[in-house]
A and B are shown apart, each in its own frame.
Chain A
Amino acid sequence: MSASFGFNSADLIRFLPETILTVMGTLMMVLDPILHRRSSNAFGHMSIMALIAAIGGAVYAYTEAGPAFGGMLMVDGFATFFRVLVLVVGILTILPSYRFLARQDAETSEYHALLLFSIAGQCLMAAANDLIMVFIGLEISSISSYVLAGYFRDDKRSNEAALKYFLLGSFATAFFLYGVALIYGSTGSVNLTAARAVILGQGPGGAAPAPVFIGVAAALMFVGLGFKVSAAPFQMWAPDVYQGAPTPVTAFLSAGPKAAAFAVFLRIFMTAFEPIGSGWEPLVWCSALASMIIGNFAALLQTNIKRMLAYSSIAHAGYVLVALAARSQVGTAAAMFYLAAYALMNIGAFAVVSHLSGRGERYQNIEDFSGLAQKQPLTAAMLSIFLLSLIGVPLTGGFFGKFYIFKAALESHLVWLTVLGLLTSAVAAYYYLRILVMMYMREPCEAVENAEPLSPGLRAALILPALGTLLLGIFPGWVLAFAEKSAALVK
């Protein structure tokens, strides 16, 4: 690699979002003793400002698009798309957290600082063009998430969630790292662009490395990333972790790290491993189908809403994998669009769950939504939008996402995967409808009678993603155009 490690101002601009988040996160840790007051809103405000600034930074970085730090980062449309996505996810996580943390009487500074660090890691993952960078981003993001999952120290389930998440996550990272090592060993580079050249036989050595190494490396990385996106058969951890973690954290886990992991997934598999695509396509095919089937069928049996949404998120990971299996630029764009739509609808749905959960998160069952429409029609209406979007009813983002994904799959002649995938999504309608049934067709229950009125933060956390979901459903053109423009990863 001919990279000079001296860096210039353009490099710094391209690194702006991560810088802002890290500085603010550190600042909050320093300020904690000074501002110390339990459940203070100040940290929440600070992190929202930091995230908005980081969005500005990400957009500004895009005006200076290009590689940074000797090709370790690649700030392109793809990176910017995912950076903005995870930052928005961050904002939407914090908005419902105000009331949630106050209700549980929890510390706020660490919570917000960890969240910012985690998001910084995800921004890094989105832009990384180098396996070491990917790994660093993955670790920053994961370690903060492990702590966040166990944020309620005294809660047994929260502890279980953190431990499980940590152990399985570490395994996954190890698998991933093993794959990185194999790539480095066989191609002599950790840079994705350089590795791709070598795999194609255009590297400095000339000859392509033995395909078995590359194949094994791809498989190992698939295992590692499969864990991170909770794709079958690596989905075991998701239900327990989602159930045990504090609800806003669950919302975050289901959207932010997943989107970033998929960004990495797409970038690695569509650049370095793209030449051996016909080799990994069956792998992705099977995993996608298994995720859709396991996720959707297991969700039918759940009574706890967080577990149900966990299984649903497994199924949704399956849909995105369908887009990856399409192995085309259209597929990549479809995956990007879907992840955006999914993040909005899922995080919105979780916001309602955290709103209703009550002190100590007592109310987590599907029955606890009974009669919500009569007591809080706005909340119920917003949740209906999210659920209809998760089902995939037209005029919502979820529908267009699915539509683009299966369109890409059909273009790549994945007819059976499409038909089976769509049929499982019809099965999925059943468990989402159960919540609608509860909300609209039953009499109010205890949880709903006790529910607090919507706080302004929560109101924003519901209305913004709902508007976003409808916007993506009715006028998807501009997001899709950007996604298609930036989906060409091979430069």
Chain B
Amino acid sequence: MNLPTLILALPLAGFLIALLVPRSSPQGSRIWAIAISLATFAASLALPMLFDRSGVPSGPGEQFTLDVPWIATPNIHYHVAADGVGLWLVLLSTFLTPICVLISWRSVQNRVKEFYAFLLLLEFGLVGVFLAQDLFLFYVFWEVSLVPMYFLIGIWGHERRIYAAVKFFLFTMTGSVLMLAAIIYLYNRTQTFSYPAIVEMIWNGRLTFAPGEQMLLFLAFFAAFAIKVPIFPLHTWLPDAHVEAPTAGSVMLASVMLKMGTYGILHFCLPLFPSAARACAPWIVVLAIVGIIYGALVAMVQPNMKKLVAYSSVSHLGFVVLGIFTFTQIGMDGAVYQMLNHGISTGALFVFVGLLYERRHSLEISDYGGVATAAPWLATAFLVTTLASIGLPMLNNFVGEFLVLQGAAIANFKWAIYAAIGVILSACYMLWMYQRVFYGEAKEEVRRRVADLNLREWAVVIPLIAMMVWMGVYSQTFLPPVSRTTARVLEQTQVNVPFQVRVERPSRMPAEAANVR
């Protein structure tokens, strides 16, 4: 059986069977969900193991391709394959789903059956987004993943959950209808939805767009992705959705759903509309840097832990966007690596915030203090995650941020300087939060309620921390397939770019010096 199809079929079957589990047995739903999500994870482990890492591929670079016609007219195919970026994002989704099942084990007590059914449907949608090679199929998964997340936030969220869920749905929907229009337009031009085929056409010069046309198409795609990332002025749905979602929802939202946006930019916007992407790059980079600094500053003043982590996501995702739009190999590698890092470390932060909430029933930082005395292991694990998040060497985020900054420095040194401010700020707000929550005098309430990690929670925490260390110490496991794909994207962005004099940094120095003189 085709591997991507297997990875898609398992959660889908899991969803359908989860609907049949009797309502009277919530434990049955939980056990089914953990079993099927672990099975999916096991199946997806085969992806990196069997992925052919040798040399630069002659073909399009996707592997495990399965391409069967789905609908005859218009010509829609069920076309799935994994490339070097999608591969890891699939793995990230399947890795986090069992974790989400475990952390919801006790915290979700009402409508348990539906909760796990939606979680599995969400996994199906997310995995599909990263595997689809047919534009139409991509759109289908893109929207399908929206529905379960809407319900997860709306049913199991906190007080203002309905507002957050509806806002989340409407923001995303608005962006995605624009993308749909662009997809249809592309189809009418090319008579195919096949992503590799369209990329090939552009590469060969058989498909060219007028500049204005290309710009509009780029913007239509970019709008959908920018809302999902979210890029600075479009981020307002994110704090609401994150704060109101249940822990599992926040984890999936932050760790995987936001990556749909950055993955989309890298996978679609750049290769399909190279000149428009380059033309817009300076503006987008500015927005990304504003996002980095703004997100960090706003995070610093949040009294609510979840909101703090949510704004830190805005800041971290700014790095990813910056890395992509440096148009350098290193920057793009860093961006992809940062997507994965953010998935692990921010996912872990949400898990810990969820664990604290389960114990103390509050998200306000001021309600805590001295947790380290009451729950030393929880504090230690949280500390590791905090350090990972602020980019301590030997932990995962450092690698990604380093590469992004290096790429930015190559493209334009000023970008790197501004972005680096974000790194410093992130250390401030994270450590400050850590200090306020874990150190100091342990309050009565905290001492009574906050217990240390139990066995189930250890099972959640250990894989996450192990991944942070692994990704920080030995990035070679992950980066080679990524570089291969980003190299191809980069190569594709060189196509039909009108010739322009790109003055390299060193050669401009004497000229500037001359001006000064």
* Residue A167 at the chain B interface, CB threshold 8 Å: no
Q: If A407-B188, A429-B173 touch, does A481 touch B73 (CB 8 Å cutoff)?
A: yes
Q: When chains A and B are docked, how far (Å) is the Cα of A423 from the Cα of B173?
A: 9
List chain A residues, Cβ under 8 A from B74.
404, 407
Residue ID in chain B nearest A411 by CB atoms = B188
List chain B residues, Cβ under 8 A from A47.
none
- Decide if A388 touches B173 in the complex (CB within 8 Å): no
Q: When chains A and B are docked, how far (Å) is the Cα of A388 from the Cα of B143?
A: 11
List chain A residues, Cβ under 8 A from B111.
374
Q: In chain A between 401 and 430, which residues have their CB closer than 8 angstroms to a CB of chain B?
A: 403-404, 406-407, 410-411, 415, 418-419, 422-423, 425-426, 429-430
List chain B residues, Cβ under 8 A from A377.
23
Of A426, A430, A476, which one neighbours B177 at CB under 8 angstroms? A426
- Decide if A433 touches B169 in the complex (CB within 8 Å): yes
List chain A residues, Cβ under 8 A from B185.
410, 415
Residue picked from A423, A429, A430, A434, most chain B C-beta under 10 Å: A429
Q: If A407-B187, A441-B154 touch, does A477 touch B71 (CB 8 Å cutoff)?
A: yes
Q: When chains A and B are docked, how far (Å) is the Cα of A423 from the Cα of B74?
A: 23
- Decide if B147 touches A476 in the complex (CB within 8 Å): no
* Residue B372 at the chain A interface, CB threshold 8 Å: no
Residue ID in chain A nearest B146 by CB atoms = A393
* Residue B116 at the chain A interface, CB threshold 8 Å: no
- Decide if A426 touches B146 in the complex (CB within 8 Å): no
Q: When chains A and B are docked, how far (Å) is the Cα of A94 from the Cα of B71?
A: 33
Q: If A395-B144, A410-B184 touch, does A440 touch B173 (CB 8 Å cutoff)?
A: no
* Residue A484 at the chain B interface, CB threshold 8 Å: yes
Q: In chain A between 470 and 488, which residues have their CB closer than 8 angstroms to a CB of chain B?
A: 475-477, 480-481, 484
* Residue B162 at the chain A interface, CB threshold 8 Å: yes
- Decide if A440 touches B140 in the complex (CB within 8 Å): no
* Residue A282 at the chain B interface, CB threshold 8 Å: no
List chain A residues, Cβ under 8 A from B23.
377
* Residue A394 at the chain B interface, CB threshold 8 Å: yes
Q: When chains A and B are docked, how far (Å) is the Cα of A425 from the Cα of B178?
A: 11
Contact with B along A441-456 (1 / 0, CB 8 A): 1000000000000000
* Residue A437 at the chain B interface, CB threshold 8 Å: yes
Q: How far is the CB of B210 from chain A (nearest CB, A)?
A: 13
Residue ID in chain A nearest B166 by CB atoms = A433
Of B147, B155, B180, which one neighbours A422 at CB under 8 angstroms? B180
Q: When chains A and B are docked, how far (Å) is the Cα of A391 from the Cα of B143?
A: 11
Q: If A440-B155, A441-B162 touch, does A406 touch B188 (CB 8 Å cutoff)?
A: no
Of A430, A440, A476, which one neighbours B170 at CB under 8 angstroms? A430
- Decide if A406 touches B184 in the complex (CB within 8 Å): yes
* Residue B161 at the chain A interface, CB threshold 8 Å: yes
List chain B residues, Cβ under 8 A from A395.
140, 144
Q: When chains A and B are docked, how far (Å) is the Cα of A220 from the Cα of B140?
A: 41
Residue ID in chain B nearest A425 by CB atoms = B177
Contact with A along B150-185 (1 / 0, CB 8 A): 110011000001100110011001100110110011
- Decide if B154 touches A410 in the complex (CB within 8 Å): no
Q: When chains A and B are docked, how far (Å) is the Cα of A256 from the Cα of B35?
A: 47
Q: How far is the CB of B247 from chain A (nearest CB, A)?
A: 18
- Decide if A440 touches B154 in the complex (CB within 8 Å): yes
Q: If A393-B146, A440-B155 touch, does A422 touch B73 (CB 8 Å cutoff)?
A: no
Of B73, B187, B188, which one neighbours A480 at CB under 8 angstroms? B73
Interface residues on chain B, size class: 20 to 34
List chain A residues, Cβ under 8 A from B51.
none
Q: When chains A and B are docked, how far (Å) is the Cα of A436 from the Cα of B73?
A: 33
Of A426, A430, A480, which one neighbours B166 at CB under 8 angstroms? A430
- Decide if A441 touches B184 in the complex (CB within 8 Å): no
Q: When chains A and B are docked, how far (Å) is the Cα of A484 from the Cα of B73?
A: 9
- Decide if B143 touches A393 in the complex (CB within 8 Å): yes
List chain B residues, Cβ under 8 A from A403.
180, 184
Q: When chains A and B are docked, how far (Å) is the Cα of A406 from the Cα of B136?
A: 14
- Decide if B144 touches A393 in the complex (CB within 8 Å): yes
Q: When chains A and B are docked, how far (Å) is the Cα of A406 from the Cα of B187?
A: 12
Residue ID in chain B nearest A381 by CB atoms = B19
Q: How far is the CB of A338 from chain B (nearest CB, A)?
A: 15
Q: When chains A and B are docked, how far (Å) is the Cα of A377 from the Cα of B19?
A: 11
Q: When chains A and B are docked, how far (Å) is the Cα of A423 from the Cα of B175?
A: 9
Q: How far is the CB of B509 from chain A (nearest CB, A)?
A: 46
Residue ID in chain A nearest B179 by CB atoms = A422
Q: When chains A and B are docked, how far (Å) is the Cα of A69 from the Cα of B42?
A: 68
Of B139, B165, B174, B178, which one neighbours A437 at CB under 8 angstroms? B165
- Decide if A476 touches B71 in the complex (CB within 8 Å): yes
Q: How far is the CB of A277 from chain B (nearest CB, A)?
A: 20
* Residue B503 at the chain A interface, CB threshold 8 Å: no
Q: In chain B between 163 and 218, which residues have their CB closer than 8 angstroms to a CB of chain A?
A: 165-166, 169-170, 173-174, 177-178, 180-181, 184-185, 187-188
Residue ID in chain A nearest B110 by CB atoms = A374
List chain A residues, Cβ under 8 A from B173.
391, 426, 429
Q: When chains A and B are docked, how far (Å) is the Cα of A302 from the Cα of B62?
A: 49
* Residue B50 at the chain A interface, CB threshold 8 Å: no
Q: When chains A and B are docked, how far (Å) is the Cα of A389 from the Cα of B23?
A: 26
List chain B residues, Cβ under 8 A from A410.
181, 184-185, 188
**Which A residues form the contact surface with B (CB < 8 A)?**
374, 377, 388, 391, 393-395, 399, 403-404, 406-407, 410-411, 415, 418-419, 422-423, 425-426, 429-430, 433-434, 436-437, 440-441, 475-477, 480-481, 484
**Which B residues form the contact surface with A (CB < 8 A)?**
23, 71-74, 111, 139-140, 143-144, 146-147, 150-151, 154-155, 161-162, 165-166, 169-170, 173-174, 177-178, 180-181, 184-185, 187-188
21 pairs across A/B with beta carbons < 8 Å? A388-B147, A391-B173, A404-B74, A406-B181, A407-B188, A410-B181, A410-B184, A415-B185, A422-B181, A425-B177, A426-B173, A429-B173, A433-B169, A437-B154, A437-B166, A440-B154, A441-B162, A475-B71, A476-B71, A477-B71, A477-B73
Having A423-B174, A437-B165, one finds 12 other A-B pairs with CB under 8 Å, namely A391-B173, A393-B144, A394-B140, A394-B144, A423-B178, A426-B173, A433-B150, A433-B169, A434-B166, A436-B150, A437-B162, A440-B154
